[in-house]
Amino acid sequence: MQSHTALVSTDAELHMPEYVDRQALKVAGELVNFIENEALPGTGLEADQFWSGCAALMTDLAPLNRELLAERDAMQAAIDSWHRQERSKPHDSTAYRQFLESIGYLVPEGEPFEIDTDNVDPEIGLIAAPQLVVPVMNARFALNAANARWGSLYDALYGSDVIAPKAEIKGTGYDEARGSAVIAWSSEFLDSVLPFERGLHADVTAYAVESGDNGHTVSAILADETPVRLANPDQFRGFVADGECFRLLFAHNGLHFELHVDRNHPVGRQSPSGLADVILEAAVTTIQDCEDSVAAVDAEDKVKVYRNWLGLMKGDLVDSFEKNGQQTNRRLAEDRTYTGSGGDPLVLPGRSLMLVRNVGHLMTTDAVLDAAGDETPEGMLDGLVTVLAAMHDLRKIEGIRNSRSGSVYIVKPKMHGPKEVAFANTLFDRIEDVLGLERHTIKMGVMDEERRTSANLRECIRAARHRLIFINTGFLDRTGDEIHTSMQAGPVVPKGEIKDAAWLASYEDNNVDQGLASGFEGRAQIGKGMWAKPDRMKEMLADKIGQARSGANTAWVPSPTAAVLHATHYHQVDVATVRADLRQRPPIALDTLLTPPLLGARNLPDETIRRELDNNCQSILGYVVRWIDQGIGCSKVPDIDDVSLMEDRATLRISAQHIANWLEHGLLSSEEIEEAMRRMAAVVDKQNAGDPSYRPMATDPVASISFQTALELVLEGAHQPNGYTEPVLHRRRREAKAAHKQ
Ligand SMILES: CC(=O)SCCNC(=O)CCNC(=O)[C@H](O)C(C)(C)COP(=O)(O)OP(=O)(O)OC[C@H]1O[C@@H](n2cnc3c(N)ncnc32)[C@H](O)[C@@H]1OP(=O)(O)O
Ligand SMILES: O=CC(=O)O
Ligand SMILES: [Mg+2]
């Protein structure tokens, strides 16, 4: 068997940036250029002021960052040895809890409190709606996401599998039968969110705006030629008239939507009422992601990430590309203006409110070296630069603005427990000081995605209570951490069963309960996780409504289409009403949250083990090969049943940890793993055969950096810090960049 470490480059072979001295720091030239020529001008800050603040920040806080990481390792080592000792005995939840308390993994809960975050935009505090996530490194997608605040319900239904599989679309033009089904679906939806006093939207032959002394009202004519009014006339908020075409604006459950009436439009022409489209307010918030959906491993990459975010914050980001044979320039959408129903002009935001996800506390970057020549914490640099970029937005009073409440929204991922949240809070204080911003301008969204955070969620919330704007169950990372934390406790159940295990339900419920108990109403989001099957929209419509019913006022979607469809759930469910009932339920049992999803005495058939291995290998290779060779951080990868799944670094963590766990407990051998990887490499090569920039793995796996990365992630998985994939991915991507440049 070939060693999986066959390819290791030394740093000397890798690309090293040209450094420039700035205060006590050495900063990569491309970052200096970006900061001094693009980001700083217009903020009122001088370069010296910025770099000396940056240097002080690194000197004061980097050691604390390192201490926190050392604490993670020490706790994991203690947990590993506890499990090794206890493995042969039945699980004793009381003894386990006491042990976790004794090592400081579980901390005591303090007095009741509520968050007091101020200056929160209504998109976060008041509106229950989908949250779109997008890799900010991809300008085309990032702009699309920012503009996904409004989306066509007709397009989302027609272009997805909700009505019928996409393969069934007839011909290359407009499939009328499918179109009719879309219209029927939408009419029923309108009947539920915009009812008339009598009659149905399907029976409308004309919509009309009537103007009077007190403003405007809307009415409709039914097929029997009788006029009808809305059951609730207040739902009508405004309109735009342009000759024969007009757009009518309504609101329901805090969300707006428009009816587009246009008898000249190919769809409107076929409809008795002339209704050509229904436009929903959809991705009300968007996370522009610098973390798990991007592959940014050096100064060059970091600058790409920061530049796109800066463009979004300045409002001038443009991307030009060819689509369907046509050159397109994509830029941020303007706000939407209407004549309000009361007669005054009405302006609604044209774009999603943007948050930016920084990286966590783990990685360091060579974009900035400290006085000793050591790399600095990447999360600290992300904080400083992304907030600097957002200052352009804070200074605006008109035009394309993001936060109208004067806040910058940072999502902080992968934090373990209250001390790490407190550290992020201190970092944000210090960034505010460096940049001259008022205290708590920077808001914090905490990903509830590591076990130590879930188990101490109330204290994590307390640690950021003056700036907290969300807690979101990142169940994908959380699953990876669940496997890694209990790596030595025994083999875990097959991947598909982990989500049905007891810990997950109590984790999800606890997130809602703690948010409600901490006074999130009006100030912060209680968020739920990603829909990871981007092409399975019918299934999403049936399933994801559960997240709104669970009391969450937002949940993640992978695409603008998914945002539009998920928005219908917040019309169907009034989250505020749901929450009133939830407040009565008893708290979750911490012991359940802490129960790992182990196989126990159960034996799995060989076929189950083989299939599970093949499936994991296929997902890992399918994702890793694009990450390593092409720098793509989020991909759609088919699983073994040919279902396309969204894969990012969090799903990679799960698959890698899953195999590592079975290897650790003898369900698999390293030979079997390598053999499966080789077979699956051929499958993945075939899946990518149409991509001219693809580098096949199967012909020479030893020479394929991607293949070796996949193997390393798995074979060394049990020893990676908290099971994270970043250290291996970053090292190997840098190696591939250097190799492919030659
Ligand atoms: C555990 C976690 O951390 S989850 C968070 C990380 N995950 C994410 O951020 C998911 C982001 N989603 C994506 O990157 C993509 O949707 C993928 C990779 C899943 C699928 O991408 P593709 O295969 O290219 O999608 P597909 O071909 O179906 O659609 C592409 C179109 O949809 C748009 N699109 C797809 N996803 C997004 C998105 N998240 N935001 C904005 N636009 C998007 C693209 O702009 C493109 O439209 P365009 O041609 O007009 O520009
Ligand atoms: O970041 C999200 C997750 O599920 O992990
Ligand atoms: Mg995550």
pLDDT digits (tens, 9 = 90+) for 380-398: 999 999 999 999 999 999 9
Is the sign of the CA dihedral 524, 528, 532, 536 positive or negative?
negative
Higher pLDDT, 60 or 15: 60
Task: Output the domain CATH number for residue 719.
Answer: 1.20.1220.12
Neighbours of 14 (CB within 10 A): 16
Q: pLDDT value at position 477?
A: 98
Within-domain flag for 609: yes
Residue 107 lies in a domain: no
Domain boundary among 230, 261, 281: 281
If you measure from the C-alpha of residue 474 to the centroid of ligand 3, how many angstroms do you get, rounded to a whole number? 5
Supply the CATH number for residue 190's domain.
2.170.170.11
Query: Which atom of ligand 2 is closest in space to residue 447's alpha carbon?
Result: 1
Our answer on whether the CB atom of 633 is closer than 6 Å to any ligand 1 atom is no
What is d(CA 470, CA 39) in angstroms, rounded to the nearest whole number?
Answer: 27
Task: Read off the pLDDT of each residue in 523-543 and give the average, rounded to a whole number.
Answer: 98
Amino acid code (one letter) for 678: R
* pLDDT tens digits along 455-504: 999 999 999 999 999 999 999 999 999 999 999 999 999 999 999 999 99
pTM: 0.97
Q: Is residue 357 a known part of a binding site?
A: yes
157 within a domain of the structure (yes/no): yes
Token output for 1: 């068997």
| Count of the separate structural domains present in the chain | 2
| pLDDT exceeds cutoff 60 at 728 | yes
| pLDDT score, position 91 | 87
Cβ within 8 Å of residue 701, ≥6 positions away: 2, 677, 678, 681, 707, 708
Supply the range of the domain harboring residue 674.
603-742
Domain boundary at 248, 281, 314, which? 281
Contact between residue 527 and residue 520 where contact means Cβ atoms under 8 Å apart: no
Answer yes or no: is 691 within a domain: yes
Ligand minimally distant from the alpha carbon of residue 320: 1
In a domain, 61, yes or no: no
**What distances in angstroms separate CA 588 from CA 90, 198, 249, 511, 706, one per listed residue?**
22, 45, 42, 10, 43
In a domain, 256, yes or no: yes
Give, for 411, the enclosing helix (H) or strand (E): strand 408-412
535 annotated active-site: no
Structure token digits, residue 392? 């352009």
Tell me whether residue 169 is in a domain: yes
φ, ψ (nearest 5 deg) of residue 224: -85, 10
Could you give the ipTM of this predicted complex? 0.98
Verify whether residue 500 is a known catalytic residue: no
What percent of the chain shows pLDDT beyond 70?
98
Ligand nearest the Cα of residue 283 is 1
Of 281, 316, 338, which closes a domain? 281
pLDDT at 171: 75
Residue 729 included in any domain: yes
Choosing from 144, 448, 473 the residue with most ligand 1 atoms within 8 A of its CB, the one to mutate for a pocket test is: 144
| 449 close to ligand 1 (CB < 6 Angstrom) | no
